[in-house]
Structure 1
Amino acid sequence: MRCLLIDDDIPTVEALLRIVNWEEHGIRELATAYNIQDAKRLFEAARPDLIICDIEMPRGTGLDMIRWVREQEYDGGFIFFTCHESFEFASAAISYSADAYLVKPLDKAKLEGTLRKAVDALRQNRLLGEYSKLGLAWIKNREWVEKNFWRDVLTEAISPREDLIGSELRKRELALDARREYRLLLAGVPRSRIGERWESSIFQYALSNLVSESLFGQVNHDRIIPYQTESSFYVVALLEAPLEEEELRERGGRLIRLCDDYLKCTLTCYISERVPIAGMSRAREELERLDAANLLFRGKVHRQNEPLAYDTTERYALDMERFGLLFVQKEKAQIVNGLKKELETLAERNMLDPATLHSIREDFLQVVYSFLLRNHIQAHVLFADEAIQRLAQQADGGVFDFMKWAQAVTGKTIDSVRDALESEGVVEKAKRFIHDHYKQELSREDVAAHVFLTGDYLAKVFKSETGCTIKEYLNECRIQSAKRELLESKASVGDIALDSGFDTLSYFSTVFKKLTGETPNAYRSRHQGRS
C-alpha cells in the first residue's frame, strides 16, 4: 500500500515517519508533502491508498484536499489531525467520508489503532467490492471479518461496552454472543531473544502459525491475533471452551516446547481468567504487564492472578564505590563480570524484580557519569549513537538485555577516557576534523564534541600541544585554502573568502594580511606576475 502524509509542520511529518511501524500495517511506500499544491501533484502522479492530512495549513486546508480528492472519485482512506477540536471541522470531515479525526499532540497507541482500523476497512471494502463483482456471498469473508473483529476488540478500536460490542456484531453479521466468556492465552517472545536470526515479519508469521496449529489444528485461525510491540512479539489466542486448569497448563507447556524445538527461542505463556468480550482489552493489557515484570521466570506458563515469586523483603544497593574504582583502573572485564555475578546472585535468591534491576541501572549510570565528568567528557555526546540508545531502551527487559547494554556502555566509556588522556591523539583528531570542515561554520564546541571533550578542556590541551588556539589554527587552514584559490582560480576575492569559510570580506582581508603581510589582491598580483 501507498500512503501520503500532508502537514506544513516538517517535525510532525518526521515524527510520524519515525514512530509508526508502517510495514506492520502493510504500507510499503510513503510520500510526504508540506502543502496542498504539492500533495495534489503527488496524488496525480500516483494515487495513494491512504491519506493522512493536517486540517489547518496556510496554503489550503485539509478540507480543501479531501473535497478535491473526492471530486476525483478517490475512494481511499483519509485520516485528519489538527491542533484544535472543532465541531465544524469534524462534521465537514464526516460529510466527505473521512475515516478518523485525531487531535494533536498525537498519541502513538491511538494513532496506530486508528491507522490499523482505516487500513483494515480499506482492505475489507476492496475485498468485498471484488466479491460483489463476482457475485459471491459475504460468507466467503466471515473468517476474515471475525478475525478483524477480535483485533478491534483487543486494541479497543471498538469501545469495551457490551451494548456497542453487540451493535458491532450485528453490523458485521457475526453470530457471536457479546456476553459469552473466553480465556486469553498470550504467547510472548522478547525481540532481543531472536537477535538477527529472523526478519521481524517472518518470525511473527512463523510464531502465529505455530500457535494456531498447536491450539486449533490449522494455520491462521480466526481466533489467533498476532501483533508486535517495541520490545516483544505476541500472539493472543481466544479459548472459548471451559478448560480445566491442568489442560490449560498442558497446552501452554506444549507451545513452549514446540517453540524451543522449531523456532529455537524461549516462549512464555500467560493465561487470563474468564472474561466477556468487553473485558478482553483490559485482560490483554494485564497479561502484557505481567510479561514486562517477568525477569526470571521465562519459558513457563503463568496465570493472570498468580504473582511472580520475587523476594522483595530486602532491598539491594549497588556497591558504587567498588565499581567507581574499577572504572578508574579501566578494568573492563572486571566491571562486566562483577555486574553479571551480582545479577546472578540476586536471581538465585529471587530478588531480581524489575524495580531492583532499574535501580541497579540508575546506580551504574551514576558511576559512569561521575567518571566521565572527572575526565571532562560529555556523556550526551558519547552515547548519542543509535546502537547505544537502542540497547538503553531494552536494558530493563531482563538480565540478558541489561548485560548487553552494560558491556557496551563500559567499553565506550573506558575507551573514550583512554583516548582523551592521550592528548597527542586527541589533538591530532581535532586537527583532522578542522581540516575536513574548515569551510563550514565551526566553533570550538563543535571540535570538542567530535573528540568527546568539553570546550575548555580541549582548548587547554590544544594550546599546550600546538602553541596556538583552536581559532588561530582554523584561520590558518582557511588562509592556506584561500591562497591556493587566489593563484589557481579567477574567482573574486569575495567569493574566495566565503568559500574558505569566512563570514565577511573585511574579516577575511584582516586575517589574510595578519598572516601573510599583504592584502589578498596584492598577494594574487605578486604571485601571478611571477608565474
Structure 2
Amino acid sequence: MNILLVDDEVMVVTLLKKHIDWKGLGIDEVFTAYTAMDARAVCTGNKIDIIVCDIEMPQENGLYLLSWVRETFPSVVKIILTSYPDFKYAQDAINIGVVKYLLKPVSFEELSETVRLAADEIIKREKEKLQVSAGQQRPDPKREEKIFYTNLLTGDILPFTEFIDKALKTGGLTREALEPKGLVYIRLAGARVQMKNNSILLFALGNIAEELFSDITEVHLWDNIFWIVKTGHDRASLNEMCELFISSLKGRFPGEIFAYFISAEYSACHLSLETLSERSRDLRHAAMQYRNVGQFIYDVDDLMEKAMETENGEQHPSAWAVAEAVKEYVHAHYMEDISRQDIEACVHLNGDYLNRIFKKATGYSLVQYIQYYRILVSRRLLAERKCTITEVGTKVGFDTPSYFAKVFRKWTNMTPNEYYNSCDSKSGTPPESDNPQA
C-alpha cells in the first residue's frame, strides 16, 4: 500500500515522512510532491492508495488536484491537511470524497490514526471485492435501512403495502424491525453555512445523533434531517431525546437547532411505513407554523391536539382527528366526484372551518389533498402497467385525459406518458419522483 504526501512546505513533508511509522501502518512506500503538477505525475506513474494533500499551494489549489484524483483514480483515499479552517473548503472537500479534513499543526499520532483508518478501509474494500467475485457479499443492514427509508421519504418507493414489501425483500429487511415508533424532524436555522445533503456538518450531526441513540436511523434530504425511531418511545421520552441532542451541540453548531416530533403511541397519528412520507411532510409543515421565541422542541401531537376552536359554543375535534377523518374519506372515494359538501357531512364541520383546520394539520387545502392522493394512486397504477393511461385517469376520478395530464404534470413535473415509459416494465418499480407542487 502506497501513500502520497503533497504540500508546498518542504519542512512539513520532510517531518511527516521521517517521524511517522509508515511500515507499522501498512504503508510500503511514501511518495512526496511539492506542487499539484508533481503530484499528478506521481499518481500517473505509480499506484497510489492514499493521498494527504494541502489546499493552498502555488499554481493549483489542492482541491482541484483532489477533484482530478477522484475522476482519474476513484479508489484513492483522500485526506486534507491544511492551515485553513474554512467551512467552505470543508464542504468542497466532502463533495469530492475527502474522508478526513485535518488542520495544521497536526500531531503525528492524529495523522497516523487517520492513515491507519484509511488503510483499514482499503483492506475492507478489497475483501468486499473478493466476496463479490466469490458471490459471498453480505449487504450492510444499516446502509440498506438508510436507503430504504430515504426512498420511502422521497416517494421513490410508493407508500403502498405491495411496493414497500417488495423493497423490504430486495434489501433483506423486515417490516417488524423497521416499522416506525416515532419520527423526529430536525430543523437547522441561522447557520453561517449553506446546508447540503453531503456537507461535512450534516455528517457530523448524523454521527452525533446515531452515537447518542442506537435505535434511530437518520436520513438526510438536502438540509432536512429526519430520525426514524424504531423502538417504543412515548412522547416524553422523545422530548428527552431531542433535549439531549440539542444540549450536546451547544457551542458546537454555528446556528440554532429545532426539533419537531410525533409518536406512534398517539392513535390519531397513524404512523407506519405506509404513512411515513406523508408524516414527514406534516412535520415540515409544522416547522413552518410553530416558531416560538425561546422554544426549540415541539411535540406536534400535542400541538395538533390543541389545534381546535369553539364555534357556536361547540368544541371541535383536534386537527389530527379532523385530518385523519378527511383522509380516510378521500382514500375510500377518490375514484368518485368528491364535493366539499360530501366531506363536510362526513366530519360534521362547515366548509370554511374544515378547510382551515385541515390545512393547519397537513399544509394542503381540501382540493389539493384530493388531487395529491389521486395522483399518488395513479402513479401506483401506472407503475403496475396493467391499465392504459386513459383508463388510469378514469379510475382515479378525472373526467377527461387532458385534465388528468394537466394535474399529473402539476404534481410530478412529468406527463403520465413520460412516467409510464420511465417505469421498469419488469419490476413495476416507479422512477425517482419530484416533490409535489401544491
TM-score by length of 1: 0.30
Higher helix share: 1
User: What TM-score comes out, normalization by structure 2 length?
Assistant: 0.36
Higher RCO (CA-CA < 8 Å; seq separation 6+): 2
